[in-house]
Structure 1
Amino acid sequence: MPHILLLALLSMPILTAHAAQYSSGDQRVIAVELFTSQGCSSCPPADRRLSRLKDHPLLWKRFVPMAWHVDYWDYLGWRDPYADSANSRRQTDYRRAGATKVVYTPGFFRDGKEWRSWYGEPVADEEKNALGRLTLNVEGGTATLQLDTPVDMQAKGLLGHIAILGFDLATPVERGENRGEMLHEDFVVLFHRSGYGDGTSWQIDLDTPDLPGRKHALVGWLSRGSDPRPLQATGGWWQSD
């Protein structure tokens, strides 16, 4: 019973106003990423698939989902309010890293690899060994990532990332391929910032304006240099005010 309780506590945030703490535990936590656009008629089914992961029993414990809205379809007539050129560049970085041959939407990546069978289970029975235990603390507008890693797995050169995700987002689309549709979206990346640390700790400012959405989550992860693929992640529900 004590071990079960400890696992539950590790996967849950400890909340006060603007403060939270999360931990991956000792297991590997992967990222499930969707590159999407409100201007793409093929994207709503993928968005709905991602939304269903809100009820997955291993959410935050074994995987963290993120929806990156790209801007390269904005010219079709509808300007996606959540699109960002940085999100499009992230998808291009996946191509440069060899994870995919082409850039397209909807594009799923699971554990840094192109995931075409995205209606399947997001977590495999066995994952690669974890880089180490990743802890995310938020206090006073600063997010701190802390990596507890074995001595022989020094994490020099790793980039720390923080993202805030929005949920229950509803957008009436007035133009473009989805004209007349009311799109409902979750896990939408509303804020993303990264920075280098000392190999064991990374600090990132969370100077964010009011964010859309009735519910939010906070996620953190580590990657190496210009390679976007997450090596270890953590996160959970976040009370932002």
Structure 2
Amino acid sequence: MIEGTKIRLLNNTTKNIEDLTTNDKLIVMNASNPSFDAANLEHNPTEGGFATNIIKKEFSLSDVVTIQLENGSEVTVTKDYPIVGAGKSAGWQVFDIDVFIKKYLDTTYTTSEENRNKLIYSLVSNVDHEHNGIHPQATDWWDSSISGSMHPSGRQSGGVPGRLMVGKPIVVENTFLDNGGEKYSNISNIVEYDTDEKVNMYSIELIEYAHYNILNGIVCPAIELGHLWPRSFYDDRGIYHNWD
């Protein structure tokens, strides 16, 4: 996230990402609970989680995008950073699948339609076409005629994120706060930057017990790809948590 990104805390205040410390308790959702409803985040309780480390790294602006929503919220993230889609577009959504694959799935990956589709098909070929898998008409992840990704709804397909694109609904903080407001907002614009100007970007390496948190009013994953931390993840690190 870019400098100035507001992180929502458990006490309902916000704090800039660059000012966050390991003593700050963030408002989060913990998907480790067996009863967690990932398809309907508003059905789950919130709790507090501490950031264990804040990482600062310099990026070129050409490597980031700003996602703007119809409700006025916006967040600037790297092109591989996931945001949570809503409704039929549920699950992780990223701007550039090729950057995502290179970072998270295969560091030897060379960008091409053939390589991209071969990898995606290998990951979701056993998922029913009618649900999270590949749509029979899909030709490529970048195919805008099917709402992004390889599924007609544009949702996450197995471990493959959908594509951030204008019009796609995104989960917003009202899902956590339960204040009666709208729980999602559509993407109104995506800003790309054609410059190598350097900017400071920040990330939260790990939030104890957290799988979702809030950045500038937008819900984002707080985990590594496909890593749903079970109780043993915390036990092995000596991190106490009341699981009852």
TM range (shorter): under 0.3
- Larger % of strand: which? 1
Normalised to the residue count of structure 1, the TM-score between the two structures is 0.25
